[in-house]
């Protein structure tokens, strides 16, 4: 591992680096929470694309208010270098203040974090802190030019603010939050824990313990907690445990908007003073496991990426397309006219439609006791599925069934009306699309791979545009992008990049702490 202290050397190193660069900014005094971040930063999607990890150590004066611990912040560059090297970092960048801010702190361009993001949690009690964080991270990103920035979820407000900064400035870097690492006694790792004497440390343990207890009570469905009592009781219990409370607040995780009662994915966060240390921690409240809705036009690659995304995050993949196909198979096998609603409706009575997994993880579909996993892929079913799926009786029956399957959450569903009709309260809604030209190009490649004749591209484009028009203008469940969906245009992105973009969007809303990554 190289240790660099000058910006010039860093820029030089970056120019010659060909691998993706993953960046972990720190203020030093590295502990095993940092070690975990650095190790995770070193993981690439494939062994061949292993990234180079850059770690910075810089105690940033801009983010400390007068009277805070800037002058005594723990420093241990040689220990930091040993830990970063052991965790797999390629480069440690440790500039001085004069090196990073050559024109001095007074003459520096400084960023201003939007008011709403600073008016809560630590922003309220540490005015100016997040402006300092945003300014230094923007400066570091400009120098390191990483592909991926890794930050701990423990500083959730910092993570939300830096995600906004990256998105609003259009910086070409993905931001990844990683679950809070805790010591075996439950205390979240922090460089400031070193300020605690033994008995202060045992007092401090009340912070994670009380937050976890409140989460368990919320999960157990204690109705009285679903109000401001949650905050008041947490505060009271922290005080009774001998901690001086700076704040206890309940906010929406993704936006930091203050909440009167838990809603969606919420964060119950607290800061306390314990001896010389100010400690922060939070717990995530979720009434049910997360639901992700992925909609989009035909040919956008939804099913391939949704399946892989589900596997990556340990979510159940609800293949609504397979359900419509199974009903189509049933209608055809019963000799019903797929175009006649009054012939189809009676066939939906007492429908027993099941999705499950075989021993190899493959999807199994059965309808009314018939195993139809392969039969639903036949050309006959393919030719009739959009006709059958357009009947309102079919949409209603399957929507009801999909909603029942989603009751316990923990799933991702893909289709045309998942975010608008099936799961309108999904935690993440994505509209996955690609331009007509791109979808035509992919379709041509597919046909060629399967050994079919490939029509001219303009003909394929016309067919796709026609299908889009039909899907968007049909009466029953037209293809629509939900108002609160994120549009993801996959032109120019490989499958892995689309999956990663979905994972990053999911993680903006659902912290790892609340829904752990199965591979982590």
Active site residues: 34
Residues numbered 149 to 208 that lie near ligand PAF (CB under 6 A) are: 155, 158
Residue nearest to ligand PAF (CB): 25
Q: Which stretch binds ligand PAF (CB under 6 A): 133-141, 294-302, 342-350, 468-476?
A: 133-141
Distance in Å, CB of 84 to ligand PAF, minimum: 14
Contact 245, 270 (CB under 8 A): yes
- Please give the full DSSP string across 217-260, using - where no structure is assigned: HHHTT-GGGTTTHHHHHHHHHHHHTTPEEEEEEEEETTT--B-S
| Residue count, binding to ligand PAF (CB under 6 A) | 10
Q: Which of 278, 255, 258 is nearest to 268 (CA)?
A: 258
511 binds ligand PAF per the rule CB under 6 A: no
137 binds ligand PAF per the rule CB under 6 A: yes
Distance in Å, CB of 234 to ligand PAF, minimum: 24
27 binds ligand PAF per the rule CB under 6 A: yes
For ligand PAF, which residue of 25, 95, 299, 409 counts as binding (CB under 6 A)? 25
Three-state secondary-structure class, residue 319 = strand
Q: Measure the CA dihedral 355/357/358/359, to 10°.
A: -170
Distance in Å, CB of 196 to ligand PAF, minimum: 18
DSSP character at residue 193: G
90 binds ligand PAF per the rule CB under 6 A: no
For ligand PAF, which residue of 4, 10, 23, 26 counts as binding (CB under 6 A)? 26
60 binds ligand PAF per the rule CB under 6 A: yes
Q: Which residue has the tokens 């899907």?
A: 471
24 binds ligand PAF per the rule CB under 6 A: no
Q: Which of 120, 112, 212, 207 is nearest to 164 (CA)?
A: 112
- Indicate the residue among 27 and 305 with the shorter CB distance to ligand PAF: 27
- Indicate the residue among 280 and 305 with the shorter CB distance to ligand PAF: 280
**H or E element in which residue 10 lies:** helix 7-16
131 binds ligand PAF per the rule CB under 6 A: no
Beta strands in 143-238 (DSSP E): 148-152, 174-178
Distance in Å, CB of 310 to ligand PAF, minimum: 32
133 binds ligand PAF per the rule CB under 6 A: yes
- Indicate the residue among 79 and 340 with the shorter CB distance to ligand PAF: 79
How do the residues of the chain divide into helix, strand and coil, expressed in percent and rounded to 5? 45, 20, 35
Q: Provide the sign of the torsion angle of the four alpha carbons 401, 402, 405, 408, taken in this order.
A: negative
List residues binding ligand PAF (CB under 6 A): 25-27, 60, 63, 133, 136-137, 155, 158
């Amino acid at each position: 591992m190289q240790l660099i202290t000058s910006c010039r050397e860093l820029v030089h190193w970056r120019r010659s680096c060909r691998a993706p660069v993953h960046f972990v900014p720190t203020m030093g005094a590295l502990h095993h929470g940092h070690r975990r971040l650095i190790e995770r930063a070193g993981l690439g999607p494939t062994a061949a694309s292993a990234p180079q990890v850059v770690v910075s150590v810089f105690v940033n004066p801009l983010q400390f208010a007068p009277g805070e611990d800037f002058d005594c912040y723990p420093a241990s560059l040689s220990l930091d270098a040993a830990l970063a090297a052991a965790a797999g970092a390629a480069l440690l960048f440790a500039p001085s203040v004069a090196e990073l801010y050559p024109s001095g702190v007074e003459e520096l361009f400084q960023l201003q974090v939007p008011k709403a993001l600073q008016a809560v949690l630590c922003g309220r009690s540490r005015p100016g802190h997040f402006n300092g964080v945003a300014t230094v991270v923007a400066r570091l990103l400009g120098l390191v030019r990483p592909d991926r920035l890794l930050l701990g979820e423990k500083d959730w407000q910092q993570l939300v603010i830096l995600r906004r900064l990256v998105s609003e400035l259009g910086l070409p870097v993905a931001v990844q939050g990683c679950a809070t690492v805790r010591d075996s006694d439950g205390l979240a790792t922090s460089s400031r824990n070193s300020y605690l004497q033994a008995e202060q440390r045992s007092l401090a343990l009340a912070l994670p313990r009380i937050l976890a207890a409140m989460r368990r009570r919320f999960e157990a469905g204690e109705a009285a907690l679903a109000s401001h009592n949650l905050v008041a009781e947490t505060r009271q219990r922290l005080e009774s445990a001998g901690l001086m409370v700076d704040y206890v607040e309940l906010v929406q995780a993704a936006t930091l908007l203050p909440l009167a009662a838990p809603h969606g994915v919420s964060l119950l966060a607290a800061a306390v003073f314990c001896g010389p240390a100010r400690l922060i921690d939070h717990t995530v409240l979720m009434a049910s496991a997360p639901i992700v809705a992925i909609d989009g036009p035909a040919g956008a690659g939804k099913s391939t990426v949704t399946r892989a995304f589900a596997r990556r995050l340990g979510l159940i993949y609800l293949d609504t397309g397979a359900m419509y196909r199974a009903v189509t198979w049933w209608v055809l096998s019963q000799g019903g006219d797929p175009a006649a609603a009054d012939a189809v409706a009676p066939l939906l009575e007492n429908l027993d439609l099941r999705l499950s997994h075989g021993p190899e993880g493959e999807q199994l579909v059965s309808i009314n006791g018939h195993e139809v996993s392969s039969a639903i892929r036949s050309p006959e079913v393919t030719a009739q599925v959009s006709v059958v799926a357009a009947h309102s009786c079919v949409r209603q029956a399957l929507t009801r069934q999909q909603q029942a399957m989603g009751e316990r959450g923990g799933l991702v569903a893909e289709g045309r009306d998942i975010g608008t009709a099936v799961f309108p309260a999904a935690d993440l809604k994505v509209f996955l699309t690609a331009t007509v030209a791109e979808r035509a190009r992919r379709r041509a490649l597919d046909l060629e791979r399967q050994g079919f004749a490939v029509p001219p591209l303009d003909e394929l484009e016309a067919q796709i545009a026609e299908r889009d028009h039909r899907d968007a203008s049909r009466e029953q469940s037209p293809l629509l992008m939900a108002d609160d969906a994120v549009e993801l245009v996959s032109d120019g992105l490989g499958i892995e990049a689309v999956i990663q973009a979905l994972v990053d969007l999911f993680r903006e809303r659902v912290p790892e702490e609340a829904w752990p990554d199965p591979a982590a």
